[in-house]
Structure 1
Amino acid sequence: MPVQEAAITWPSWLCDRDTAALHAYAVVDPAQDKRLPAVLHAPRNACLLGDDASIREASPHLVELPDDIDSRAWSWLARNGSQQPCAVLVTSELGFDELFTHLLKFLDVQVNQSTTMLLAWWDPAVLASLLGQPDDDTLYVKGPIFTAEQKAAFAMSLCDVGYWDRAGTLHRMNAQQLVATVPATSGIDGGSVLPLTFDVGQVRKLVRATTPDQVLYELRLNRPGVLSDRSDLENYGLACRLVDAAERYAIRGMRDLVNFVGAGMILGERFDICPAMASELEGVRTGTKTFTEMLSSLSPEVLEQARQSSMECAER
């Protein structure tokens, strides 16, 4: 897409900003695109996870965007932001240092009495699930995972949050509307919800939201050939459906999930309907064997039957 075409695709909530009062920023992820943040030539940027050079290379950065929406930085984001999940757009009345300090408060979340984990909200899909985005059909978990108070605490210093979904559509989350939905008696100064703490239900939702991506990461690392015939979006949709199918057989461990999804990508999405395969999977469901153990014991004949059954189901 030519630069000039890309520049005019920005929606009115970004184009019509009162730049005297409202600043634009991006939270960009070099782990998704190694050219970031240098390629944006931004006036200011800072790594959210520290200044060590090795950390900066693969960690999120807050980047100050120029007021000119036709500038090189905005044009690069328009061309590349929709292609991979490398950027979240933010507008705020806060200056760079104030916003940076605010965002740092949401990097860690306590998940039980002894464990704190890094909350990767700079991943657009994670952020959308945390805040809730019902019109994003590419999300595995639409959320919100945050409580109303946690959403308000995160959003209180922001005006708008924008992100591209997996299909390349730019979504807007009006941060002030998130704040307005919180009961007045709950308080939104952040003091009551910081440091962040997730209950068991929130932890389960967060784990579920990230599971298809974790499975795909393992497959790309170890078995890239099973993904090569489909687009990234198609692979993600298929991984989500196969993770759902795995739940029917009580398959939850990452190794078994990766093997189940990989099998589905090779044999076909409905490989489990084959009678011989279904019989074996019943043993997995009841806990007498793991899926990995079951898969290694199957004969080539059963695998071919499963592939044929899945093909016939797809043709119906």
Structure 2
Amino acid sequence: MTDNPCQPLLDWCRAPAQARLHRFALLDSAPVEGAFRQRPLQGQRFSSLFEGRQEAVLPEIAPLLIDLDSAQDSSLQRLCEWLWSMGLEHPCLSWMASPLPLDALAAHLRLFHTVDLSEGQTMLLRWYDTRILPQWLGCLTPQQHAQFCAPLVSLSCLDRTARVQTFFQDHQAEHIAPLSEPALGRSLVQLDDRQLAQLMQSSQVDILINRLQSLIAPELARVARGRLAAFLQAHVDQLCAAGIDDAERQLQCLLPALYTSGAAWLHPAFASLLQAPPAGFEAFAAAIQALPDEIYAVDLPLWDKEELVGREDAAA
């Protein structure tokens, strides 16, 4: 742990940079409505990625590309502290370096505001949501990836688990002519069905979190966002590996996991169920109901255990 909670971002800003290299933060304002009015951004240079798009009428939720080089000394520290706190609370913060200045890089990133899908559909893509960003970069073809990342030297984010994820650094940015706007009504990138399916996987855990919040919202509120997301992602990965890939059956399994900090899954009866899960929901739900009550007594609920660990850490 460091004394300064924004140390990674602040250190990155203060580290020596290559000549003519600019550093930026990208803040998705959707979960931080009105971010552009917040005091840490006053006097700083930033550009909305909604500019020139239909969504320009929604500045409250616009993604903001922020020129970190425009902040100095104490104002830079305040800005980084604020950005980092937003990124820890919401999946909304990424940062990048580029030889392009603010306006030119913003113009480049706006070209990826939408994507074309099969059957003539177009979808607004919030790739700057850091739950989506890793899947976005992973689903692109090599040509599309090179197109998107061409002007970037480095790219990192605070991901859905509130951990730093660096996609690349010291990348040789290409000196390319600005990309042309696609024809009216068209997008620069077209995703096929396989790419779309890969991209949509990023929403799986979020769908489950929303469902769980409708059942046990007060309890989940006691678990840090990053810890909850990491816990659920690890368990969903296990469920998918066991062939339990639908939200309804996954929900039935995740509740015992949450109420025992994952220990219920180690009980022989639950382990046996995961090895040969019924395919139909009704049969699966009946199998869950038939599990012995003792599986719920093997450990504390995740929220109680988190608070206990927190108190022990504070006392250490």
Same fold (TM over 0.5): yes
Check 1:252–1:68 CA distance in 2 against 1; reply closer, same or farther (3 A cut). Answer: same
3-state DSSP class of the match of 2:291?
A: helix
* Match in the other structure for 1:16: 16
Q: CA RMSD in A?
A: 4.2
Measured in 1, the distance between the counterparts of 2:295 and 2:46 equals 56
Identity over aligned pairs, percent:
19
Residue 102 of structure 1, CA deviation: 1.2
Residue type at the aligned position of 2:212: L
Measured in 2, the distance between the counterparts of 1:8 and 1:208 equals 28
* Match in the other structure for 1:290: 281
Correspondence for 1:210 among 203, 209, 220: 203
Contact 1:151–1:178 (8 Å) recurs in 2: no
* Match in the other structure for 1:28: 27
Residue type at the aligned position of 1:72: S
Residue type at the aligned position of 2:73: D
- Larger deviation, residues 109-118 vs 266-275: 266-275
Measured in 2, the distance between the counterparts of 1:179 and 1:261 equals 45
TM-score between the two structures when normalised by the length of structure 2: 0.70
* Match in the other structure for 2:254: 261
Contact 1:155–1:175 (8 Å) recurs in 2: no
* Match in the other structure for 2:106: 100
3-state DSSP class of the match of 2:258?
A: helix
Residue type at the aligned position of 1:17: A
Measured in 2, the distance between the counterparts of 1:296 and 1:69 equals 61
Give CA deviations for 1:141-185 in whole Å, capped at 9, x if unaligned. xxx3322212210111223323234354474733734869xxxxx
Contact 1:179–1:188 (8 Å) recurs in 2: no
Check 1:75–1:44 CA distance in 2 against 1; reply closer, same or farther (3 A cut). Answer: same
Residue type at the aligned position of 1:107: H
Check 1:279–1:104 CA distance in 2 against 1; reply closer, same or farther (3 A cut). Answer: same
TM-score between the two structures when normalised by the length of structure 1: 0.70
Contact 2:256–2:296 (8 Å) recurs in 1: no
Measured in 2, the distance between the counterparts of 1:43 and 1:75 equals 15
Measured in 1, the distance between the counterparts of 2:271 and 2:262 equals 14
* Match in the other structure for 1:136: none
How do 1:26-65 and structure 2 match up within 5 A? 26-34=25-33, 36-39=35-38, 40-41=41-42, 42-48=44-50, 50-51=54-55, 53=57, 55-65=58-68
How do 1:238-253 and structure 2 match up within 5 A? 238-253=231-246
Residue 198 of structure 1, CA deviation: 2.7
* Match in the other structure for 1:138: none
3-state DSSP class of the match of 1:24?
A: strand
The unaligned stretches of length 5 or more in structure 2 are 301-316
Correspondence for 1:158 among 152, 156, 176: 152
Residue 225 of structure 1, CA deviation: 3.5
Residue 64 of structure 1, CA deviation: 3.3
Measured in 2, the distance between the counterparts of 1:110 and 1:8 equals 36
Residue type at the aligned position of 2:285: L
Correspondence for 1:148 among 134, 138, 142: 142
Measured in 2, the distance between the counterparts of 1:10 and 1:199 equals 39
* Match in the other structure for 2:311: none
Measured in 2, the distance between the counterparts of 1:303 and 1:5 equals 44
* Match in the other structure for 1:184: none
3-state DSSP class of the match of 2:97?
A: strand
Measured in 1, the distance between the counterparts of 2:164 and 2:287 equals 44
Check 1:238–1:5 CA distance in 2 against 1; reply closer, same or farther (3 A cut). Answer: closer
Residue 212 of structure 1, CA deviation: 1.9
**2:93 pairs with 1:87:** yes
* Match in the other structure for 1:183: none
Contact 1:153–1:189 (8 Å) recurs in 2: no
Residue type at the aligned position of 2:281: T
How many corresponding residue pairs? 286
Contact 1:7–1:75 (8 Å) recurs in 2: no
Contact 2:127–2:133 (8 Å) recurs in 1: yes
Contact 1:108–1:118 (8 Å) recurs in 2: yes
Contact 1:159–1:175 (8 Å) recurs in 2: yes
Residue 283 of structure 1, CA deviation: 8.0
Give CA deviations for 1:113-161 in whole Å, capped at 9, x if unaligned. 3443333221234323433xxxxxxxxxxxx332221221011122332
How do 1:107-186 and structure 2 match up within 5 A? 107-131=113-137, 144-165=138-159, 166-169=161-164, 171=166, 173-174=168-169, 176-177=171-172
Contact 2:28–2:62 (8 Å) recurs in 1: yes
Give CA deviations for 1:176-218 in whole Å, capped at 9, x if unaligned. 34869xxxxxx99868x96222334433332333322332243
Contact 2:153–2:173 (8 Å) recurs in 1: no
The unaligned stretches of length 5 or more in structure 1 are 132-143, 181-186
Residue 91 of structure 1, CA deviation: 2.7
Residue 238 of structure 1, CA deviation: 1.6
Measured in 2, the distance between the counterparts of 1:27 and 1:101 equals 14
Residue type at the aligned position of 2:16: D
Measured in 1, the distance between the counterparts of 2:271 and 2:29 equals 43
